[in-house]
């Protein structure tokens, strides 16, 4: 059952990722990208990380994709013309295949460290995933959390200034 659903959603994820890169209209790419995000949310649920799945759907498939589709509509982009650069396809395809082989090699020949932490499935079901995330974030990762808030503030100011007509 688990294996069947893994392969089903893996096939859908790879298919939709391919069409993100291939679709001629940017709106089609955006819709395939939403499909891909939802497949990844399914994988997060399978990996016992339901909070991450919820955030994936809300932040990525909700906020970021709405922003992208809004900009596509605002710029009124047509579909791409049929002119294709074969040397770009050749080099891009070759480099990405090379990257696939290298990562495949490292995944097959490497092993994760033998050190195992304390978060088992039983801990997750007794405490709840959100509580575990909150504990780790507000104790061990408090400084990166504050830095992330400053990063978001800088991004807000940057976006407002960049999209103003006259500064």
Partner 1 sequence: MITVYHYMLLSAILFSIGTFGVLTRKNAIVIFMCIELMLNSVNLTFIALSRHLQNMDGQIFVFFVMTVAAAEAAVGLALMIAFYRNRESIDTDDFNLLKW
C-alpha distances in Å from residue 105, one per residue of 7, 47, 91: 21, 24, 21
Cβ-Cβ contacts under 8 Å for 54 (sequence gap 6 or more): 41
- Site map for partner 1, 16-55, x if CB under 8 A? -xx-xx----x--xx--x--xx--x--xx-xxxx--x--x
Q: How far is the CB of 69 from partner 1 (least distance, A)?
A: 10
Q: How far is the CB of 126 from partner 1 (least distance, A)?
A: 14
Number of residues binding to partner 1, judged by CB under 8 A: 80
152 contacts partner 1 (rule: CB under 8 A): yes
125 vs 156, beta carbon nearer partner 1:
156
Q: Are 119 and 132 in contact (CB under 8 A)?
A: yes
Q: How far is the CB of 51 from partner 1 (least distance, A)?
A: 8
Q: Are 29 and 20 in contact (CB under 8 A)?
A: yes
DSSP summary character for residue 79: P
For 79, phi and psi rounded to 5 degrees? -75, 155
* Residues between 89 and 148 that touch partner 1 (CB under 8 A): 89, 91-93, 95-97, 99-100, 103-104, 107-108, 112-113, 115-120, 132-133, 136-137, 140-141, 144, 148
Return the structure tokens found at 110: 């490497």
Q: How far is the CB of 98 from partner 1 (least distance, A)?
A: 9
């Amino acid at each position: 059952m688990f294996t069947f659903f893994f392969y089903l959603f893996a096939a859908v994820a790879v298919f939709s990722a391919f069409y993100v890169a291939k679709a001629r209209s940017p709106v089609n790419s955006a819709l395939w990208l939403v499909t891909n995000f939802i497949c990844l949310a399914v994988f997060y649920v399978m990996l016992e990380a339901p909070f991450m799945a919820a955030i994936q759907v809300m932040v990525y498939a909700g906020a970021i994709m709405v922003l992208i589709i809004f900009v596509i509509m605002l710029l009124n982009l047509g579909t791409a013309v049929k002119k294709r650069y074969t040397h770009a396809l050749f080099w891009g395809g070759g480099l990405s295949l090379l990257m696939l082989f290298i990562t495949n090699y490292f995944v097959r020949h490497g092993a994760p460290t033998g050190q195992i932490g304390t978060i088992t499935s039983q801990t997750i079901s007794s405490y709840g995933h959100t509580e575990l995330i909150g504990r780790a974030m507000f104790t061990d990762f408090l400084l990166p959390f504050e830095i992330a808030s400053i990063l978001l503030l800088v991004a807000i100011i940057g976006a407002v200034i960049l999209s103003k007509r006259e500064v």
